[in-house]
Amino acid sequence: MKQKTHKGTAKRIKVSGSGKLLRNQAGKRHLNESMTSKRRRNLKGDASVAQADVKRVNRLLGRS
């Protein structure tokens, strides 16, 4: 059977030009009013996927 991309993972993870896996940082959807500006600012931007998860995420994305 043909291997399929895990669509939930594909929507959340972006592959950079160098092949690094990038994800959005958690904790910024709601309840931000009580956070300091510094904390909100630091949650901006992408974070890279943990090294322990890279192999698993690549498999979910159909990259072997």
3-state SS, the chain, equals CCCCCCHHHHHHEEECCCCCEEEECCCCCCCCCCCCHHHHHHCCCEEECCHHHHHHHHHHCCCC
Q: Which CATH number fits domain 7-61: 3.40.30.10, 3.30.450.70, 4.10.410.60, 1.10.3720.10?
A: 4.10.410.60
pLDDT at 24: 96
Q: Other CB atoms closer than 10 Å to residue 21's CB: what's the count?
A: 20
For the record, the structure tokens of 24 come out as 């959005």
Residue 38 makes CB contacts below 8 A (sequence gap 6+) with: none
pLDDT tens by residue, the chain, 64 residues: 989 999 999 999 999 999 999 999 999 999 999 999 999 999 999 999 999 999 999 999 999 7
Instruction: Please state the domain extents for the chain.
Output: 7-61
